[in-house]
Structure 1
Amino acid sequence: MPDCRKIRPADRYAGLQGFTYDAGLAAETVGSTAICMHLLTVPPGGRAKAHKHATHETAIYQLTGRAVMYWGDRLQHRMETEAGDLIYIPADVPHLPTNPGPEPCTAVIARTDPNEQESVVLLPELEHLVPH
């Protein structure tokens, strides 16, 4: 029987999306096989690279701050979020989150990919569609 595990997010890593993440639960840290979960703090003015997660869903619980996420094939949709919101991103949906606010934005992020960075597909051809 596998062991239950507990970790504290102490290590940080640079994600392909352009943000620095606090290491969380993933295949690499606890041996998970179907899920990952980590913390993300986006600084004021922070912006991800346009990307999608191939074949993996994402669930987000926003703890602090405000954010704006652009999503869709041409990033044509805009979603404003704030502390207390739950956000769902289906697999293979292009998106680009930003923090236009004056304070950091912190969230718990879970994905159906145990290897958090393996399903990230960068979409540089969409970068120009979202104003800086």
Structure 2
Amino acid sequence: MTSSSMSNKCQKLRPGETYAGKQGFSYFEGIARETTGSQAICMHILRIPPGGRAKAHLHESHETAIYVMEGNAVMYWGERLENFMKTDPGDLVYIPAGVPHLPINTGEVEAVAIIARTDPHEQESVKLLPELEDLVP
């Protein structure tokens, strides 16, 4: 089935397969150009184990919206990861395009979130920032 024929019909997915993101986490495959032919959005589920930490990164050309379903995590963000945000179940988080960030599950249980992005290819504009890694303990 071609991408254009996929995008002309409603579809239902059940997350099953995972893929390794450049950021250092595994994501449950969800709605993306590759799975549904989506033109402008990507949505998937992220599960972060206790102590799990992403690599410092940014998304060059897409915005991110996150809904925290379970667990607690923190996120360092900003040009030098100088800002700190704690998240709890029920929180909504917005990350503008181009903003460096690094999430960590500091809790004792798995953190689960639904993530939506304005790029149908979730990994296309991920840029790793190894020079910022040591700024976060």
TM over 0.5: yes
Match of 1:52 in 2: 58
Query: Can you list the C-alpha shifts for 1:24-75, whole angstroms capped at 9, x where unaligned?
Result: 0000000001000000000000000000001100000000000000000000
Q: Specify which of 118, 127, 130 is matched with residue 124 of structure 1.
A: 130
Q: What RMSD over aligned residues (CA atoms) do the two structures have, in Å? A: 0.8
Distance 1:73 1:10 in 2: 35
Q: How does 1:53-132 map to 2 (within 5 A)?
A: 53-131=59-137
Query: Structure 2 regions of 5+ residues with no counterpart?
Result: 1-6
Distance 1:82 1:102 in 2: 13
Tell me the distance in 2 between the aligned counterparts of 1:105 and 1:93: 22
Q: Percent of aligned positions with the same letter in both sequences?
A: 65
Query: Which digits, 9 at most, give the CA deviation of each residue in 1:78-120, with x for residues without a partner?
Result: 0000000000000000000000110000000000000010010
Q: Distance in 2 between matches of 1:82 and 1:90?
A: 20
C-alpha distance in 2 between matches for 1:56 and 1:26: 14
The normalised TM-score by structure 1 is 0.98
Look at both structures and tell me which one has the larger radius of gyration over its CA atoms: 2
Query: Which residue, out of 10, 14, 17, partners 1:11?
Result: 17
Gaps of 5+ in 1: none
Residue type matched to 1:120 in 2?
Answer: V
The list of structure 1 runs, each at least 4 consecutive aligned residues, that deviate by more than 6 angstroms after superposition, is none
Partner of 1:22: 28
Alpha-carbon distance, 1:123 to partner = 0.3
